[in-house]
Structure 1
């Protein structure tokens, strides 16, 4: 299995949007509306070079969106196809995000998730992220987290 992410190209957009739909649809009832990543403009993000994908046997199985910010790399989105859950793709994407942040000279990587996505908060805590604050943005109650890179 080839788990090295590559930068997404416009032809990947439909597969990316499908993975995002699969990953985030289960949270709609919990949040009461679609999570933020479901309304992102993936065409624009791909054109800006912010989206990375992992393929197995020619099929995109995971996506990562990284956004450089002044003081940290923003891990804007990570999602894995339902059929690829438990294969290590998500872990590989998270490792790649940290590697990319370090390579770009950042000393921290940050993310946010919805407060009801408790599984994600627990996962991020286990891999070294710490909560910095909670705030409401765009009508969504978000938990902000950071990981300091060494």
Structure 2
């Protein structure tokens, strides 16, 4: 894993588009990660990519918590454990930064994502509207 570079913006945007496009029909609109400003996120050092740009994770440090804002895996690599590896990397980054927990949110209709997060120890902490979408809020406490 490494931070994305400015020259990779188009590839990052393509990866996000390809990963999230199937969800448009499920949730009835474009998922929020498809609306993000990746030039700004990359410039801020928040986009972490795999070698080969098969997957990425956007990590935003907050007060004592690391927000996993986006996890995206190329469709032809989904189901191979890359999403789990990206989330494990997020945990490593949180520990490296001295964070006590990670948090994320996902659309209530993304049931397979919710199940994945629960299997990795995330617990639902609430539900709320986020930019016209219904989101499940989740959190994972990190042990010592």
Alignment of 1:1-150 (within 5 A): 5-55=1-51, 59-150=52-143
Contact 1:54 1:89 in 2 (8 A): no
Contact 1:62 1:90 in 2 (8 A): yes
Instruction: Give the unaligned 5+ runs of structure 1.
Output: none
Contact 2:58 2:70 in 1 (8 A): yes
Partner SS for 1:60:
coil
Cα distance per residue 1:8-53 (max 9 Å; x no partner): 0011111111111111111111111100000000000000000000
Q: TM-score, normalised by structure 1?
A: 0.92
Q: How many residues align?
A: 143
Instruction: Give the unaligned 5+ runs of structure 2.
Output: none
Q: TM-score, normalised by structure 2?
A: 0.96
After TM superposition, which residue ranges in structure 1, 4 or more long, deviate above 4 angstroms?
none
- The root-mean-square deviation of aligned C-alpha atoms, in Å, is 0.9
Distance in 1 between residues matched to 2:135 and 2:45, nearest whole Å: 25
Partner SS for 1:146:
strand
1:87 to partner: Cα distance: 3.0
Cα distance per residue 1:115-147 (max 9 Å; x no partner): 000000011001100000000011010000000
